Amino acid sequence: MISGRLHRFGAILATLVLLAGCGTGGSSYSPAGAASSSQGQAPAAGQSGSSTAAPAAASGDKVHLVYFNARGAEAAERALVSRYMQDHPNIDIEYLSTTSLSGPSDTDAIANLIFNIQAKKVIDAAKIEVSRTPLDLMDSGSIQELTQVGGDAMQTQLKGLLNSNYVDINNAVWAMPYEYDPFGYVYNADMFKDAGLNPDNPPKSWDELRQVNDTIKAKNASAWPICQPINNLAKTMPWVWTSGGNYWDKDILPTKADFTSPVVTDVYKFEQEWSQKGWRNTDELSDTSTLQLMISRKCAAVIYSSDLILQLESNDPKTDWRVAPIQSKDGNGTPATYGGGSALAIPTTAAHPKEAMDFIMWLTSDDGQRLKYGATPGLNIADQDLYSQANPDSMAVSDQLKTDPKWKQSILTVPSRPPGVSPAFSKIYQMLADMQERIVRSNSDVTTELTNVQQQAQPLLDQAIQNFPQLYQKS
Amino acid sequence: MSDATSAISVPVAQPARRGTQIGRTFRESRTAYMLLAPFLILFVLVLAYPLLYSLYLSFFNATLNKAPTFVGDGNFAQLATDADFLTALRNTVFFTVFVVIGETVLPLFLAIAMNEHLPFRTFLRTTYFLPVVTSWVVVSLIWSMMFSQQGLVNGFIAAVGFSPEPFLSDAGQAMGIIIAVSIWKNLGYYMVIYLAALQGVPQELYEAAAVDGASKIRQTWHIAIPALRPVIYFVFTITIIRSMQVFEQSFIITNGGPLNATLMLVVLLYRHAFVNLEFGYGSAIAAFLLVVLVALALLNRRVHDFLVQ
């Protein structure tokens, strides 16, 4: 009898212990509290919103913000958060980040953020990719339009930031640009010298690039004269723009895909030529492998983020690294580049959008950017962490850093162009990237590939126009 | 004279009602159910509910922050014409065939070898088991670095005077590497299973066979392998199920490339669900995979029962 009771007691105790352990401890996240009931829904795309900000915290109350970083530069972001809390004792910021591997798309990298928003978890500010993600999140009703929250001060500050045309669509602002990531021709000047080339005169036209590639390949048969990510659209678009072409009828909210134009066709044929002649990488590039391939002299040049030069100089200071604009077909094209990077948005689940806006305004201010990029000392992060960020988004800070010998080459003066931002851009981007891989790896017919992808992309554009008529009406 | 039988009332046992039977069984096994409760609760929350919800979603067009739209069998009809899905299915089946053969046969030979009194046997067993306890992410990252253009393997190849191989850029070689890493990582696990079974085979059988003049190979073929038949069946079934769900190696080493040559069903499911946010279509792929795996398991069982009879 006693033995039976003891067994039952033990079983109950074990059950309770196990259930308590499994209860709510699966996540380190502790919500700041339910969003205020007076907070309205995020406005539909294109409409001037009427979302009501949460009531300001009573004076003396500490405001708890949740900041979700889905875009890296961990050390700098953590240090900035600490600094902001020091300067604003009434603000307590909970820092969250995603630790995804380098994924196939930025939506993949922010999946963690998206699921938190769908689960109605409070997130007050989020750092996201800038060229595709804001409109993806707008499409899914996950982020707030910032004009109502930030007012005139936000609009004024936006004018001083690069890439604002990626997020300011028809008087609706979906995020504040935060980091700027232009692409350029990053090359090893020592390899140029070894091959008898003048590194002070990098190639400006396609023919000059062909000569450079031939010369380097003849000198070093195992090297790749030019490397570029294979399944990628962002590094190919500048080739089209600088040669006077475009993928669409408009850079912002395009309505017509035009992939079969002569310039676009020529660019992909040119990229195919690199593969046919053994000039380009056969393995896909990642941030890590690009660094390794450049330092080991496997790649003589790479089309990549201009800030790669900071990491190259940091890891291999003895080599002469340079950056130049991407070549145009005839050497006389108008320079333009794809300006990737990151932006700061306020999700629809924010509990304190006003305070989140203040935090975002500080991060994107000239003072905040100077601190982030070491122009003003005080952040106390390692050089490696400082240089692994993309470039500053503030025009004033970029101008200031241009005079710094370390940053000079990273700050590209080539203007960026919006890549056809639209709610459909993410999906079309991947279609074009997959097409590029087929063209490069399997020598498929360029014209046929471009025609097929255009036929697949146009319905997606049409659907975006149908789903967001007000957004497109104003454009 | 009164009927003697009518003076005695013999109680007739009534058949127990089913409900009473269940109640009594539960009362008698109360402790066991309480101990099982945590697992059952977690099972429902973490496995059963998501599984059923995923099956439900497969009939809808579902994306983020929008109410799902019912599409009936639309997602499944789309599977039949989706080139990527057909490619992933073909790749997954190809992968499964080779991995099942490798993971069923090679560990058996290893176990037979490890069952002998070899020097450093314990060290060898530990070495073979080490990959099993290493994370798939770590293993995949290391193999992708080893077989990259500038990796260790090409460095060795170049050192002996040959040209580097495009391991991860060539469709066939990339699939070969995915298969190789899968077999290599699981060798130790199945070896241990076989070894445990081998050690249950009575030594007398081997001794009797040796007395009759049977060689080691004949002893293995006629004694060990028949004794291992149930274990071989178990390993065969488990490797099929696990191989059809391959994800980490394909995602991390090649991301399904080059040109979808190593694209697997679960990687495709991941792309649709978590990259394109097409939860309905991703769920349809998951439902398809579930049906295939259940069918394979049942077929396997039937074949086994037939062979045993």
Contacts of A11 in chain B (CB under 8 A): 30-31, 34-35
| No. of helices (H) and no. of strands (E), chain A | 20, 11
| pLDDT tens string A383-442 | 888 888 889 999 999 999 999 988 988 998 788 899 998 989 988 999 999 999 999 999
Beta carbons of B149 and A282 less than 8 Å apart: yes
Q: What is the pLDDT of residue B18?
A: 59
Q: Are strands A176-188 and A391-392 parallel, antiparallel or unpaired?
A: antiparallel
Asked if A120 reaches chain B (Cβ–Cβ under 8 Å), the answer is no
Question: Is B259–A442 a contact, with Cβ atoms under 8 angstroms apart?
Answer: yes
Contact A1, A7 (CB under 8 A): no
B window 149-178, beta carbon within 8 A of A: 149-150, 164, 166, 168-169
Q: Using a CB–CB cutoff of 8 Å, tell me whether A104 touches chain B.
A: yes
Say yes or no: B65 contacts chain A, CB-CB below 8 A.
yes
Closest Cα in chain B to A115? B64
Largest Cα span, chain A: 96
| Cross-chain residue pair A15–B42, CB shorter than 8 Å | no
Q: Give the CA count within 13 Å in the CB-facing half-sphere of B232.
A: 16
Distances B119 to A122, B113, B115, B123 between C-alpha atoms, Å: 61, 11, 12, 9
State pLDDT tens for residues B137-153.
Answer: 999 999 999 998 888 99
B148 with A289: Cβ contact below 8 A: yes
Cβ–Cβ below 8 Å for A118 and B66 = no
Q: Which chain A residue lies closest to B268 (C-alpha atoms)?
A: A104
Query: Which one, of A325, A307, A340, lies nearest residue A418 by Cα?
Result: A340
Q: Which domains does chain A have, with CATH numbers?
A: 63-180+340-401 (3.40.190.10), 181-339+416-473 (3.40.190.10)
Whether the CB-CB separation of A94 and A74 falls below 8 Å is answered with no
Nearest to B224 by CA among B249, B186, B194: B194
Q: Is B74 on the interface with A (CB under 8 A)?
A: no
Asked if B30 is an interface residue toward chain A (Cβ–Cβ < 8 A), one would say: yes
Contact across the interface for A140 and B275, Cβ inside 8 Å: no
Contact with chain A for residue B68, Cβ under 8 A:
no
**B257 in A contact zone (CB under 8 Å):** yes
Find how far residue A32's CA is from the centre of its chain: 28
Contact between A284 and B42 using a beta-carbon 8 Å cutoff: no
Residue A224 backbone zone (phi > 0: left; psi -120 to 50: alpha; other: beta): beta
pLDDT at A6: 59
Burial class of residue B205 in the structure, from the number of CB atoms within 10 Å of its CB (0-12 exposed, 13-18 middle, 19+ buried):
middle
B274 close contact with A: CB closer than 8 A: yes
- Packing angle of the helix pair B279-308, B74-81 (nearest 10 deg): 80
Of A357, A424, A472, residue with least CA distance to A139: A424
| pLDDT at B219 exceeding the cut of 80 | yes
pLDDT, tens only, B155-184: 999 899 998 898 999 999 999 999 999 999
Tokens of B211: 């007395």
Q: How far apart are CA B249 and CA B144, in angstroms?
A: 9
B255 touches chain A (CB under 8 A): yes
> Which range has the top average pLDDT, A165-179, A259-273, B220-234, B292-306?
A259-273
Contacts of B257 in chain A (CB under 8 A): 231, 284, 437
- Chain B CB within 8 Å of residue A298 CB: yes
**Cα separation, B176 vs B169, whole angstroms:** 12
Residue A435 contacts B, CB cutoff 8 Å: no
**CB-CB neighbors (< 8 A) of B169 in chain A:** 282-283, 441
Tokens of A3: 């033995």
Residue B69 in contact with partner chain A when CB distance is under 8 A: no
- Residue B168 has what pLDDT? 93
Strand A391-392 and strand A337-345: the pairing is unpaired
Q: Which of A227, A281, A282, A456 to mutate to test the interface with B (most CBs of B within 10 A)?
A: A282
A136/chain B closest Cα distance in angstroms? 10
Mutate: best of B27, B29, B30, B34, partner A, most A CBs <10 A: B34
Show which of residues 229-268 on chain A sit within 8 Å of chain B, judged by CB atoms: 231
- What's the confidence (pLDDT) of residue A26? 33
Which long-range contacts (C-beta less than 8 Å, at least 24 apart) are formed by B7-10? none
Buried-exposed string A279-299: b where 16+ CB fall within 10 A, e elsewhere: bbbbbbbeeebbbbbbbebbb
In chain B, how long is the greatest CA-to-CA distance? 118
Task: Please report, for residues A204, A405, B245, the alpha-carbon distance to residue A324 in angstroms, rounded to integers and kept in the order given.
Answer: 9, 16, 46
Q: How close is the nearest chain A Cα to the Cα of B204, in Å?
A: 43
C-alpha angle with apex A425: A163 to A133, nearest 5 degrees?
55
pTM over 0.80: yes
Strand partners, A182: A339
* CB-CB under 8 Å, B166 with A18: no
Alpha carbon of A71 to those of A332, B40, B193: distances in Å? 35, 38, 44
Which residues 276-305 on chain B approach chain A with CB closer than 8 angstroms? Answer: 276-277
Q: What does the DSSP assignment read for A209-230?
A: HHHHHHHHHHH-TTSBS-B--S
Q: Both tokens of residue B132?
A: 């099993």
Contacts of B35 in chain A (CB under 8 A): 11, 14-15
At A141, which amino acid appears? G
Q: Inter-chain contact A19–B38, Cβ cutoff 8 Å? A: yes
Distance CA B84, CA B271 (A): 11
Cβ contacts of A97 within 8 Å, gap of 6 or more:
A68, A69, A70, A74, A77
Per the CB < 8 A criterion, the answer to whether B236 and B303 are in contact is: no
Contacts of A298 in chain B (CB under 8 A): 149-150
Residue with tokens 């099993």: B132
Query: Which candidate, A408, A177, A44, places its Cα nearest to that of B66?
Result: A44
| Cβ-defined contact of B35 to A427 (cutoff 8 Å) | no
Residue A289, chain B, CB below 8 Å: the answer is yes
Task: Give the per-residue pLDDT at A451.
Answer: 97
Answer whether B148 touches A (CB < 8 Å). yes
Q: Is there a contact between B231 and B304 (Cβ–Cβ < 8 Å)?
A: no
Q: How far apart are the C-alpha atoms of A373 and A407, rounded to whole Å?
A: 10
> What is the complex's ipTM, to 2 decimals?
0.77
Q: Is A389 exposed, middle or buried (0-12, 13-18, 19+ CB in 10 A)?
A: buried
Residues of chain A below pLDDT 70: 1-60, 99-109, 474-475
Domains of chain B and any CATH numbers: 74-308 (1.10.3720.10)
Amino acid identity at A62:
K
Q: Which residues of A touch B250 (CB under 8 A)?
A: none
CA distances from A193 to A206, A304, A322 (A): 20, 21, 12
What backbone phi and psi angles, to 5 degrees, belong to A92? -120, 120
Q: What type of residue is A368?
A: G
**CB contact at 8 A, A181 and A305:** yes
Of A195-209, B100-114, B199-213, B283-297, minimum mean pLDDT range? B199-213
Show which of residues 169-228 on chain B sit within 8 Å of chain A, judged by CB atoms: 169
C-alpha to C-alpha distance for A268 and A447, rounded to whole angstroms? 9
Closest CA to A125 of A294, A286, A311, A342: A342
For helices B121-129 and B83-114, the axis angle rounded to 10 degrees is 170
Taking an 8 Å cut-off on Cβ atoms, the answer to whether A18 and B252 are in contact is no
Name residue, tokens 């320079």.
A335
What does the pLDDT read at residue B205?
A: 83
CA angle A146, A149, A154 (to 5 degrees): 65
Mutation for testing the B interface, residue in A116, A129, A283, A463 having most B CBs under 10 Å: A283
